[in-house]
Structure 1
Amino acid sequence: MDSYNQLPNVSLKEGNLMSDLFLKKKIFTLIDALEYLHNLPYGYNSNDDKKTILFEEEKGTCTTKHAVAATLAQENGIDLQKHVGIYKMTEDIVAGTQFILDKYNLPFVPMVHCFLVHNGHRYDLTEGNQNGKKCSIEDFIFEQQTIPFISRKDEYLYFRDILTKIIMKSSEFQGKEISIVLKAREEAIDLLHKNVEH
């Protein structure tokens, strides 16, 4: 992923939800706002669909950090989009994954990750956070631009669509049942939560 410091460092304009929240914190430019989001602790929010939850709980995930960042940029005339991608979760990325792969006889667990895109460059405000992963995600099976505050339900429907149309039809998943892959995904989500908590 690229450094967000190369993005246009515009001054925030008052009169919009996210801009006003940052201005109240005496944060006046886009780069300073992204720095604030990056430095916030990584943590699961109690309600990802509430637009101000990150500020109330002073923590966020790839879902909430990038939703706030994309909205803020758009409020200030910068075309910074939120993307949702599906990556191959393995032991190399998340410690403890091999147990799940062995249990369900899978080559990897397909998982969702969010990030930002501007002029072909990718930015991840959770990179370097204690997010349960050993490294940043660079390779994706599939990615798609979304609205900043995509709901959990819509994100899951996107995941199921790609799982059904692309992943389950690949040679790596030939003969595998979708129910098994979904069970593995549930355990992988639990594993990420445990890794973040430690």
Structure 2
Amino acid sequence: MHFTFNFSMDAISLIPKVKLVEKGLISRKFLEIGLLEFSQAIQYVHSVKYGYNSNYDDPLILFKENKGTCTSKHATIARLAEEQDIPLFKNVGIYKMTEEIVTGTQEILTAHDIPYIPMIHCFLVYQQHRFDLTEGNANGKKRPINNFIQIKQVSPEFSQKEEYLWFKDVLRGVILKSDEMKGTKEIEILKARQKGILLLKSKIA
């Protein structure tokens, strides 16, 4: 099963104008820096520089390091939504990374004789509207990710370990059983994935 979405930052305008109320760590932090509405918090996180964080288990890491990836950006807003009782949720998805998305991928695909590298990306969902707070950021990708092999709604606290275990489940239960990956060994995909992560990191200034 494959999922295709159209992502748009315009979806933010559909979220009700909600004044922030201090109900936890994240709302307190946004109020401290002078952001009074939920929509302002979203715009702020979107504007934060794209960059890899040192500790994804720290709920305030985006503020401490003034940068974030899809993981930390979307976790921050999903935590805020949870505190404010707004039905907005973080989702993770596995997409097909190719040369069309990240320059330099083809060399990895050729080395491991695979058609794509399965990689994880995440985004936010409000009702049926989806948006990505890394859209337009210098995130190493040439275009937005709109197509996914598998998606899953997760809690803001969804850890990297949980994410990897879910990835392995989808890898074994869906990806390796597909015609595209027929005859491919799991270890080849995992090696390619590690190279793909390093490739993406090399694209970030």
User: Is the shorter-chain TM-score for this pair beyond 0.5, marking a shared fold?
Assistant: yes
User: Take 1:131 and 1:38, find their aligned partners in 2: how far apart are those partners?
Assistant: 12
Return structure 1 stretches of 4+ with deviation > 4 angstroms. Answer: none
Q: Does 1:143 align with 2:130?
A: no
* % same residue: 49
SS of match in other structure, 1:196: coil
Q: Provide the residue aligned with 1:2 in structure 2.
A: 8
Deviation readout 1:155-184 (Å, 9 max, x if unpaired): 000100000000000000000000000000
TM-superposed deviation, 1:16: 1.3
Q: Distance in 1 between matches of 2:194 and 2:23?
A: 41
TM-score computed with the length of structure 1 as normaliser = 0.98
Partner of 1:93: 101
CA–CA separation in structure 1 for the residues paired with 2:157 and 2:13:
23
In structure 1, what is the equivalent of residue 139 of structure 2?
Answer: 131
After TM superposition, give the deviation of residue 74 of structure 1 in Å: 1.7
Corresponding residue for residue 46 of structure 1: 54
Partner Cα separation in structure 2 for residue 161 and residue 49 of structure 1? 22
- Give how far 1:150 is off: 1.0
Q: How far did 1:146 drift?
A: 0.6
Task: Give the paired residue count.
Answer: 197
Amino acid at match of 1:118: Y
Alignment of 1:64-83 (within 5 A): 64-83=72-91
Q: 2:64 aligns with which of 35, 56, 68?
A: 56
CA deviations over 1:94-113 (Å, ceiling 9, x no partner): 11101111111111000000
Give structure 1 stretches of 5+ with no counterpart.
Answer: none
> Structure 2 counterpart of 1:52, which letter?
L
State yes or no: 1:33 paired with 2:41. yes
Instruction: Say if 2:204 is the partner of 1:196.
Output: yes
**Partner secondary structure for residue 92 of structure 1:** coil
Using the size of structure 2 for normalisation, the TM-score is 0.94
Is 1:176 the counterpart of 2:184? The answer is yes
- How far does residue 9 in structure 1 lie from its aligned partner after superposition? 2.1
**Higher deviation after alignment, 71-80 or 170-179:** 71-80
Determine if the alignment matches structure 1 residue 15 to structure 2 residue 23: yes
Letter in 1 for 2:154: T
- Kindly provide the CA deviation profile for residues 19-41 of structure 1, in whole angstroms up to 9, marking residues without a partner as x: 11000000000110000000000
**Distance in 1, Cα, partners of 2:128 & 2:169:** 24
Task: Give RMSD over aligned pairs.
Answer: 0.8
Instruction: Tell me if structure 1 keeps the 8 A contact 2:140–2:204.
Output: yes
For 1:11 and 1:125, the matched residues in 2 are separated by 20
